[in-house]
Structure 1
Amino acid sequence: MAWQQIHLQLTKEQVELAEALFYEAEAVSILLEDAGDEPLFEPMPNEEPLWCDVILTAIFDTNTDDRFAQMDFEHLAQEVSAEVGASRVWLSVLDDKDWTREWMTHYKPVPCANNLWIVPQWLEAPDPNAANLILDPGLAFGTGYHATTRLCLDWLTEQDLTDKVVIDYGCGSGVLGVGALLLGAKQVLAVDIDPQAILATRQNAKLNGVEDKLLAFLPEEFKIYQEQNSIQADTITANILAKPLIHFAPYFATLLKNKGSIVLAGLIENQVNDVMNAYQIAFDMDIPYHYDNADDRHWYRLSATKR
């Protein structure tokens, strides 16, 4: 069994009409991809950025819907292509798979600095004697594959976290908070706006046997807990984006003890100075850091100590 796919290469101005025509033809899903090599970075509020040159893929379920068995997909493709003025059109077939498990085949253990490994839950640890962070990312951000996650984890391995309280703000899968606990932290307070991230963080804490040392909150819940308990952390991790990092600079300063440390990620080169300027008011900044390899070098990490 298979899924029929129709692909169009078109401009972003043509996308909306093409989507409408394919959904009218009862496509079950539409995928948009970059047809060139155009980066999209952090959008402004209410913006939905799109590449200038787009490959649109319309997917039709020929497995369970008999109406599509006799459908002339070639004719539909040419018809929509002509209507929207696409520059290129082609068809392909996507073999049916167990999609609930297919994504798992692309993961492998990820080495970080100082013998820390991120190990997907369904795989064997390459080195059983290493510090192995067992992870099931679920639907939350933070698999360890992204450079911003590894930049923060590498930094954490270089800190003395023994008996320290850590706030992981924007926790995603909980990978940084759980990593901090495996590296000796006493307690982690994890915060995220996504309820799915809270669930994933709690599950990953349990996978690693540190659930008794980690509390996960939505932001308003955390604010109440922090105020009631007068919590100030020794360390804050925040792997989010430039605009929220700038916005939270004064707030993070209130959450951190004097001489406490903070690590910030999710930044590209042209955002580094703006974020540094926001934190220099209350923090002594370290030199910005990024990897030298070509794939990851445009992502930067900042770290600092609260004065």
Structure 2
Amino acid sequence: MPWIQLKINHQAEYAEQIGDMLSANGAQAVTFVDAKDTPMYEPKPGEVLLWPDTQVVGLYDAEYDMQRVINQLEKSKILGKGFNHKLDQLEDKDWEREWMENFHPMQFGERLWICPSWRDVPDPKAVNVMLDPGLAFGTGTHPTTSLCLKWLDGL
């Protein structure tokens, strides 16, 4: 099914309220994104950090009446009449498979390869570990994972 994204850039202090307004006005999902490429460090336990300039993105069914949503949001004190926003059309995709396109075999050290099951093994004579990215392993790109795998290759 095709989708429409409603994007609103605002200050972090109002981002969650705007997200709640999008949800109350039919958004199927709400996401908070960095609007200005600001570095963010690990929050303390229980702390929710948003970027000083946060983009709030609401995802709507393409058939949804977006003008009605905009009209409702214009009534809020936070946004007001004529608030700055952007609407983007998203084409339908097989989202469950789309993320897989970004993962390729990765080499660690000289002989060790971590290979997703849906990709060909680049070097059949190497030590090839068939391991799909997920909750347990992740993607293998984290620096500590990479260091551990390089160390393992050296053994």
Q: Same fold (TM over 0.5)?
A: yes
2:79 alignment partner AA: G
Q: How far does the alpha carbon of each residue in 1:35-87 deviate from its partner, in whole angstroms, 9 at most, with x for none? A: 1222222221211111111111100123xxx6x2xx1x145236526732397
Cα distance, 1:157–1:20 mapped onto 2, change above 3 Å: same
Which whole-Å CA distance do the structure 2 matches of 1:34 and 1:82 have between them?
A: 25
Match of residue 70 from structure 2:
77
- Which is bigger in relative contact order (C-alpha 8 A, separation at least 6)? 2
Which whole-Å CA distance do the structure 2 matches of 1:24 and 1:93 have between them?
A: 21
Cα distance, 1:82–1:140 mapped onto 2, change above 3 Å: farther
Match of residue 110 from structure 2:
114
- Residue 33 of structure 1 pairs with residue 27 of structure 2: no
Q: How many residue pairs end up in the alignment?
A: 152
Q: What RMSD over aligned residues (CA atoms) do the two structures have, in Å?
A: 2.1
Given that 2:33 and 2:55 are in contact with CA atoms closer than 8 Å, whether structure 1 keeps it comes out as yes
1:157 alignment partner AA: D
Q: For structure 2, which runs of at least 5 residues remain unmatched after alignment?
A: none
Which whole-Å CA distance do the structure 2 matches of 1:110 and 1:77 have between them?
A: 45
1:153 alignment partner AA: L
Cα distance, 1:5–1:113 mapped onto 2, change above 3 Å: same
Given that 2:4 and 2:61 are in contact with CA atoms closer than 8 Å, whether structure 1 keeps it comes out as yes
Match of residue 100 from structure 2:
104
Given that 1:8 and 1:81 are in contact with CA atoms closer than 8 Å, whether structure 2 keeps it comes out as no
- Offset at 1:139? 3.4
For the residue of structure 2 that corresponds to 1:105, the secondary structure is helix
Q: How far does the alpha carbon of each residue in 1:275-297 deviate from its partner, in whole angstroms, 9 at most, with x for none? A: xxxxxxxxxxxxxxxxxxxxxxx
Which whole-Å CA distance do the structure 2 matches of 1:5 and 1:96 have between them?
A: 13
Which whole-Å CA distance do the structure 2 matches of 1:82 and 1:120 have between them?
A: 49
Task: Decide which of 106, 129, 132 is 1:133's aligned counterpart.
Answer: 129
Percentage of matched positions with identical amino acids: 38
Match of residue 145 from structure 1:
141
1:77 alignment partner AA: I
For the residue of structure 1 that corresponds to 2:110, the secondary structure is helix
- Residue 42 of structure 1 pairs with residue 42 of structure 2: yes
* TM-score, structure 1 as length reference: 0.46
For the residue of structure 1 that corresponds to 2:20, the secondary structure is helix
Which whole-Å CA distance do the structure 2 matches of 1:151 and 1:81 have between them?
A: 51
Q: For structure 1, which runs of at least 5 residues remain unmatched after alignment?
A: 161-307
Given that 1:135 and 1:143 are in contact with CA atoms closer than 8 Å, whether structure 2 keeps it comes out as no
Which whole-Å CA distance do the structure 1 matches of 2:114 and 2:75 have between them?
A: 48
Which whole-Å CA distance do the structure 2 matches of 1:3 and 1:60 have between them?
A: 6
Which whole-Å CA distance do the structure 1 matches of 2:143 and 2:75 have between them?
A: 41
Given that 2:133 and 2:140 are in contact with CA atoms closer than 8 Å, whether structure 1 keeps it comes out as no
